[in-house]
Amino acid sequence: MSPLVATLIGDVVGSRDAGSRAGLHARLEDLVSQVNETTDPLVPLRITVGDEYQGCWASLGDALVAVRTLRLAGLPQVDLRHGLGWGEVSVLSESPRVEDGPGWWAARAAIEYAAAEARRAGLRHVRTAYRCAEGVAGPDQAAVNAALLLRDQVLGGLSGRSLSVLSGLIEGRTQREIADAEGVSASAISQRVRSDGLAVLVAAEEMLGRVG
């Protein structure tokens, strides 16, 4: 039996409207490279067709960290959507690498679900969904998706400055260090952290990173 892994399929929201497809592709390459360097994928993220990319991690928590890293690094200019799966993956060929299996089917179902949900007015900020392969024991689907719904809703409502501050907090920088980098006062950063609930987001992200 193949080992169970966390699969990730991602794409760019509204990529067909990009002013420069070449510029968007170059930016996506940078984001993918950054995540491969800062996380520990079993199979590094790789761009497959157009603006779609995929990779595998040992745990769902690791894949959730990769999703968060990608989204925060891309926003607000590049909005990304992701489908996460949990299940078996088989390697059909190594060069070029071709994979298949229930883990990938689950990730595909998840990203299609996320895209469909985002077309509903009240759920327009949905960008991430998770599916566990049929008949496989894994992280609770309902609980993980509830957390992802809330994460997406909050991220979708943050300004560019708040996203930058959140990234700094997650990276472990102090509010003073963030203030210096942003060219504002420490009190301004402190106020933003309180008003936007950024400390709660940081705590939630730490918990998501420990999922199964």
Secondary structure (H, E, C), 101-117: CHHHHHHHHHHHHHHHH
- Average pLDDT score over the chain: 92
Cα gap 5→55, rounded to integer Å: 10
- Average pLDDT (56-72) is 96
Whole-structure pTM value: 0.91
pLDDT at 1 > cutoff 70: no
> How sure is the predictor about 83, in pLDDT bands with cuts at 50, 70 and 90?
very high
Three-state DSSP at 42 gives coil
Percent of the chain, pLDDT > 70? 97
Q: What count of Cα atoms within 13 Å lies in the side-chain half-sphere of residue 17?
A: 6
Average pLDDT over residues 3-15: 92
Q: Give the closest residue to 83 by CA, choosing from 126, 38, 135, 24.
A: 126
How many helices (H) and strands (E) the chain has is answered by 8, 7
pLDDT tens figures, 20-43:
788 888 999 999 999 999 999 999
Closest by CA to 208, choosing from 159, 145, 154, 165, is: 145
Given a cut of 60, whether residue 173 has pLDDT beyond it is yes
Q: Look up residue 88 and give its two tokens.
A: 């078996």
d(CA 27, CA 23) in angstroms, rounded, equals 6
Paired sense of beta strands 4-12 and 80-88, if any: antiparallel
Residue with tokens 């060929």: 93
Closest of 78, 87, 69 to residue 151, by C-alpha: 69
Asked if the model's pLDDT at residue 2 lies above 70, the reply is no
Residues of 171-208 as b/e, b for ≥16 C-beta within 10 angstroms?
A: eeeebeebbeeeeeeeeebeebbeebebeebeeebeeb
pLDDT over threshold 80, residue 98: no
